[in-house]
Amino acid sequence: FLFSYFLSFFLHTESTYRHQASIDDEMVSMEILDTAGQEDLLQKEGHMRWGDGFVLVYDITDRRSFEDVAPLRSLLEEVRKPRHVPLVLVGNKADLEHARQVATEEGERLAADMACAFYECSACAGTAGAAGSAGTVAEAFHELCREVRRRRAVQGKSR
């Protein structure tokens, strides 16, 4: 999504990226913090205070990554009280259907429980089964930006 190509070798370290996109005919600047499965609780909490919205990603070929989403969301709610924070849930590696451990319906149910949008996609554009995945990844981020915009509008009216 950010680079328009897939990095087959990726070091899982924290990185910040800037990205601009036209969303609903409006230019939006995004600052994206990729925490890459960070385990340190204090760092997680610090990052949760930092963002306006969050894309929670799990690997459809790794049940444990899916099971980590609900506790992460609970921590996010605790850190961001009393405000509800915009979220999007993404099941990644949709091109690896043969290795799937998490059914699409499970992701849909979790997203419904979290009251957020849900996408399944593949960051690996260009591989078999990943047709159009770059658009899907982009759409997940665009939907998050729309939700952040809606929340800001509502908060502005309530003041």
Residue with tokens 């899907």: 136
Q: Residue 89 — pLDDT band, cuts 50, 70, 90?
A: very high
What average pLDDT does this structure show over 9-32? 75
pLDDT at 6: 42
pLDDT at 123: 74
Residues linked to residue 91 through DSSP beta bridges, in sequence order: 58, 120
Q: What is the residue-averaged pLDDT of the chain?
A: 80
Ranges of H-type helices in the chain = 41-50, 63-67, 69-79, 104-114, 133-157
Which of 15-24, 63-72, 80-89 ranks highest by mean pLDDT?
63-72
Count CB-CB contacts under 10 A for residue 55: 20
Q: Residue 158 — pLDDT band, cuts 50, 70, 90?
A: low
Count CB-CB contacts under 10 A for residue 22: 9
Residue with tokens 């957020």: 116
Residue with tokens 């996609």: 121
Question: CATH topology for 41-157?
Answer: Rossmann fold (3.40.50)
Q: With 60 as the cut, is the pLDDT of residue 121 above it?
A: yes
Q: With 60 as the cut, is the pLDDT of residue 34 above it?
A: yes
Q: How far apart are CA 9 and CA 97, in angstroms?
A: 21
Q: Residue 33 — pLDDT band, cuts 50, 70, 90?
A: confident
Secondary structure class of 15 (helix, strand, coil): strand
* Percent above pLDDT 90 for the chain: 38
Q: With 70 as the cut, is the pLDDT of residue 118 above it?
A: yes
Q: With 50 as the cut, is the pLDDT of residue 126 above it?
A: no
Q: Output b/e per residue, 117-145; b: 16+ Cβ within 10 A.
A: bbbbbbbbbeeeebeebbebbbbbbbbbb
